[in-house]
Amino acid sequence: MLRLLGWVWRVLRAARLSLGPFVEWAGVAWGRGQGAGLDKTRPLTTLSHQPMFWSQHIPGGSWVGVIKEVNVSPCPTQPCKLHRGQSYSVNVTFTSNTQSQSSKAVVHGIVMGIPVPFPIPESDGCKSGIRCPIEKDKTYNYVNKLPVKNEYPSIKVVVEWELTDDKNQRFFCWQIPIEVEA
């Protein structure tokens, strides 16, 4: 099965289809979304001082936030090479467009177009650098870890990270291509 996944990834990557229409392979992704909470005045994110290829405009759901910056560290190249047994820092600066008593993070690995749940140490956004209740028009720094367990296979996958409010509306949702290595 893993060989099949690897083959499918290589075929999709060769066709530049693996990351969908909202993620670019070259250059910095600039805000081009349709009002999906994008800051159109600057590159959307940095990645250890390197451009990161991602997009906030993920289809579906309601948007109640604007991403200002996303940092995954250490991650100097794309796809982000993650080593088993290591943990990586994730920091998202965003502005809320609504009030919320709580927030919840959900992370998935997108494998062959199928979202597979990816466990994180803390799913409660209010325990991840955000002081709740969340206020409208205020900027927050969401901080969490992306642990890569030893039992994870060597695979290339797109990680999708989402933070929702108490009405299940998205403060943000972003994607990054990763490669799990030994």
Supply the pLDDT for residue 58.
57
29 domain-assigned: no
53 domain-assigned: no
Number of domains forming the structure of the chain = 1
Q: Are 117 and 108 in contact (CB under 8 A)?
A: yes
> End-to-end distance of the chain based on CA atoms, in angstroms?
18
Supply the pLDDT for residue 74.
93
25 domain-assigned: no
What is the average pLDDT value for the chain, to the nearest integer?
76
Percent of the chain beyond pLDDT 70?
Answer: 66
145 domain-assigned: yes
Distances, alpha carbon 13 to alpha carbons 27, 59, 99, in Å: 17, 21, 40
Q: Give the E-state strand segments of the chain in sequence order.
A: 46-47, 50-51, 65-73, 80-83, 87-96, 104-111, 114-117, 139-147, 155-164, 170-181
Q: Kindly report whether the peptide bond that precedes residue 115 is cis, defined as omega within 30 degrees of 0.
A: no
Supply the pLDDT for residue 76.
87
Low-confidence residues of the chain, pLDDT below 50? 1-2, 4-5, 7-56
Supply the pLDDT for residue 78.
85
166 domain-assigned: yes
1 domain-assigned: no
**Domain with 176 in it:** 58-181
Q: Say which CATH number the domain at 88 has.
A: 2.60.40.770
4 domain-assigned: no
- Tens digits of residue pLDDT in 35-65: 344 433 333 344 333 444 444 455 555 689 9
Supply the pLDDT for residue 63.
85
Cut 0.85: pTM above it: no
Supply the pLDDT for residue 61.
58
156 domain-assigned: yes
DSSP classification of residue 30: P
